[in-house]
A and B are shown apart, each in its own frame.
Chain A
Amino acid sequence: MIRNLSEAEFLPRLGLAVGIYILWAAFFLSLAAFENGGVKVLVAIPVLLSAILFGMRGAVLGTMVGIVGHFGLHAIAGTGSFGDFIQDGNLINGAVLLSIALMVGYFNRYKSDGASEVVQKSVDTLRGQERNLLREQLNTISMEFNASAHRKLVITEVTRCAATHISRALRPDFLAIAVADLENRKITVEQAIGVRMLGFTYGDVRSVSEALNDSLSAGELIAVNHEELVELTGTSHVAAATLEAGLRSALIANFRKDDGDLVAQIWIGSAGQAQYSDLEVGFIAQMAGHFKSAVENARNSESLKQLQRHLVAQNELLAQMQDGVEGAEGELRLSNNQLTHLNESKTQFMSEVAHEIKSPLAVMIGYADILRFDTEHMGSDQRKYAASIEGSARQLEVLIDDLSDITNMESGHFNTVKKPHDVMKVVKSVVEGLKVSNPKFEMRIQLSDFITDFEVDGDPARLSQVFTNLISNALKYSSEDQFVEISARKAAGKLRIAIIDRGLGISDSDLEQLFTPYFRSMNTEVRHRPGTGLGLFLSKSLVEEHGGSLTVSSKVGVGSTFTVELSPSSNSAIASAA
C-alpha cells in the first residue's frame, strides 16, 4: 500500500530539499561559469535528489523547480529570452530530466513503501508482544489475586498486588488505589505511588463519581484531561493533589457493586497529556474486573473472619457460662440431695420426737384430768391448777401436732385419706368437743343459718383439725363475753362455712402475712395469747388440699371472718344429678 507522508513528515523534508537547492545555486553563482552541459547536469542533481528523498511528488516538484530555476539563472545571467531558452533544447532536457526523475521517484516510491511496511510489521510485532505481555500480566494478576485470596485474603494485599502490576505495565507518574469501607461510609487510600496523598474521603470520591457521572455510566473507566482535572479540584482532594504534583491528566477507574455502591477507585496520573492506547485501557479495564472481584472476596472474607472471631468469642463465652451452669448445677444437685436428706432426717426426727413427747403428755393430761374431777380429795383451787396443767399440756399437744404436720408437708410425707362423708357432722363434733373442753364456750358459740348435712370428699380428721383451729382462734382472739358465730350455707352448689368473731381484728399488714408459717403478729394483745403461728398456714394448706379455699376478711377492733368453701362430694353430685 502506498503510504503518503503526513504533513509533519513532509514539511521538514521539503525544507531540507529547498536548503540543498539554495546551497547548490549559490555555489554555481560564485563559480560564474555557465557551460550549458554542466548546468544541465547540475540542475539534474537536486531534481534527482528530491525524487530520491520525496518519491513521485518530489520528482515532479524537483523537476519543476529545476526548470524554473534554470530559466531563472538564464534570466539573471541575461543569456537569452524565454524563446532562446526553449530553443536551446532546455524543454527537452527538462522533459528528459522529468522522466528520469519520475523513474527515480517511482523506484523510490517502492523503496519507501517497502520500508514503511517493514516498520509497520515491526510495530505490529511489538504490539502483539505488548498484548501478549499484558495478557500474561493479566493472567499473573488473576492468579495472584486468587493466590492472595487463599494465602492472605485481605484488602491491603489485593491492592498491593494491583498497584505492583499497574505500575509495571503502564509506568504511570502517579497511582492511587482507594478502597471503600461501605460500613463506615469512607474510602481509604491503600496504595499510592508518586504523590503524597492528602487522603481520600468517601464523600470526596463520591463527588468525583457524581461529577463524572455521565461518562461513568458508559463504563467504569474514564480518562480525565487537564481541564477536567482542574474542574474537579473544587470537589476532589485527589484531583487537587494530582494537579499539585504537576500531573496533567488521569485515568480513573471506578469499581461498583451490582447495586451501584462504590467498592474501589484507581487513579492513574500522568505528567503529560496522557495518551493511552486501546490496549492499555483494555488492560486496565480487565484488571479492574479481577480487582473488583478480589476486593469483594477480600471484604467477604474479612467480614467472615470477623464473624468467625465473633463466633469463637461467643462460643468461649458460652462454654464458660456452660461450665458455670454445670458447676452451679452440680452444687445445686449436691445441696438438693443434702437438703432432701436433711428433710428426711428432720421428718424422721419430728415423728420420733412427737411420739416421745406425746406419751408423757398423755400421762400429764391423764392425771390432771383425774385431779380436775376429784371433788372428794381436791379443793376448788387445786382443781383449777389441775385444769391449768391440762390446758397447757393440750397446747403442747397442738404444737407438737402442728410441727409434725408441717415437717411432713415440707418433706412430702403429708397424706390425707379422702372419703365421702358429711362434713357438717365434723363441724358439729368440733363444736361439741370445744364446749366439753371449756364450759364457758357453751354460751359463746352460736350456730346460725346452719344447714344440716353436706357430703364432701375429704379426710374427716384433717377437716376436724381445720375447724378446731379456726373456731378456737375465734374464741381465743375475742373476749370472754363475745360471741363466735358459725354459719353454714350453700352457695352456688358449694358449702360455705363462716366463722365470725367480734374480737381484736387483724391489721392490713398482718393480713398480708397471716397464712405464712410461723407468722405471729407483733400486736401485744395477740402476743398475750398462746399460739405457734402454724395453725392458719396448716388450715389453709389442708383446705386447699381438699380443693377448697380459706379466705379472711377483718377489721381491727371490729372482728374477723374466716370463710371455708368446700365442693360437694363427686358421689353426691352424681346422686343428686340422677
Chain B
Amino acid sequence: MRILVMDDNSDIRVLLVSVLQRAEFEVIEAADGTTVAAWVEDANPDVIILDLMMPGMDGWETLEQLKSNTASKHIPVIISSALRDEEDFEKARRMGAVDYMPKPWSADDLVARIRKAVTVGKSKREAA
C-alpha cells in the first residue's frame, strides 16, 4: 500500500515516514501541492495525507485539484492539520476528504484511520 504524504514541515514528513514504514506502508513525500496534478497519476497512491497550511499552493487548493482531476478524484484524502475548527472539518468533508486528523495526532490513531480510509475507498470504488 502506497501513501502520499504532503506537508511543508520536513520533521512531520520524517515522522510520518517512520510511523508509516513501521506499519509497513510505502511512503511518497511532497513538500507542497503545486505540481501534484502532473504526477499524482503516475505516483498512484492508495491514500493521501494532506496538510492544509502550506506555502505556495495550500491544502485546500490541492484538495480541489485532486478532486477535480478524474485520475485522482477516487484517491481517499486524509487531512492532517493544526486547524481544528468544526468549520474546517465541514469544509474538508464537503470538498471530498474522507477523514480529518487534527495535529498532533497519535501514531496508532493515524495508522488505524489510514486502514479504515483504504477499506472505505475500496468498497466505494467497487460499488461504483
List chain A positions with a Cβ less than 8 A from chain B. Answer: 354-355, 358-367, 369-370, 373, 390, 393, 397, 401, 415-417, 459-462
Contacts and interface: CB of A to CB of B under 8 A. Distances in A.
A460 B105 CA distance: 18
21 contacts: A354-B82, A358-B103, A362-B12, A362-B82, A362-B103, A363-B9, A363-B11, A363-B15, A365-B104, A365-B105, A366-B106, A367-B15, A369-B19, A369-B107, A373-B107, A415-B85, A417-B85, A417-B90, A460-B86, A461-B85, A461-B89
Nearest to A374: B22
Interface string B80-107: 0011111101100000000000011111
B9 A359 contact: yes
B42 interface: no
Contacts of A365: 104-106
A390 B108 CA distance: 13
A365 B80 CA distance: 14
B22 A355 contact: no
Nearest to B101: A362
B18 interface: yes
A366 B105 CA distance: 7
Contacts of B22: 370
Interface of B is mostly: helix
A459 B86 CA distance: 7
B104 A397 contact: yes
B15 A362 contact: yes
The 10 closest A-B pairs by CB, nearest first: A362-B104, A358-B82, A369-B107, A417-B86, A366-B15, A362-B103, A365-B104, A355-B82, A363-B11, A361-B104
B45 to A, nearest CB: 20
Given A363-B9, A366-B104, A415-B85, 14 more contacts: A355-B83, A359-B9, A359-B12, A361-B103, A361-B104, A362-B15, A363-B11, A364-B104, A366-B107, A369-B19, A370-B18, A370-B19, A401-B84, A461-B85
Contacts of B19: 366, 369-370
B15 to A, nearest CB: 4
Contacts, number: 68
Contacts of B107: 366, 369-370, 373
B100 to A, nearest CB: 10
Contacts of A359: 9, 11-12, 82, 103
Contact of A416 (B83, B86, B105): B86
A417 B87 contact: yes
Most buried by A among B11, B16, B83, B105: B11
A394 to B, nearest CB: 8
Given A359-B11, A370-B22, A461 B104 contact: no
Nearest to A355: B82
B85 A358 contact: no
Most buried by A among B53, B82, B104, B107: B104
Contacts of B83: 355
Given A359-B12, A370-B19, A393 B86 contact: no
Given A363-B11, A366-B19, A393 B104 contact: yes
Most buried by B among A363, A415, A461: A363
Contact of B106 (A369, A401, A461, A462): A369
B53 to A, nearest CB: 6
B86 A369 contact: no
B54 to A, nearest CB: 11
A366 to B, nearest CB: 4
Contacts of B89: 461
A459 B22 CA distance: 35
A390 B19 CA distance: 15
A379 to B, nearest CB: 19
Most buried by A among B22, B85, B87: B85
B31 to A, nearest CB: 13
B106 to A, nearest CB: 5
Nearest to B105: A362
A475 to B, nearest CB: 19
Nearest to B87: A417
Contacts of B108: 369, 373
Contacts of A416: 86
Contacts of B18: 367, 370
Contacts of A401: 84
Nearest to B107: A369
Contacts of B105: 362, 365-366
A199 B15 CA distance: 109
Most buried by B among A362, A363, A370, A460: A362
Most buried by B among A415, A417, A460: A417
B55 to A, nearest CB: 13
A262 B105 CA distance: 98
Interface in B3-42: 9, 11-12, 15-16, 18-19, 22
A506 B71 CA distance: 60
A462 B90 CA distance: 14
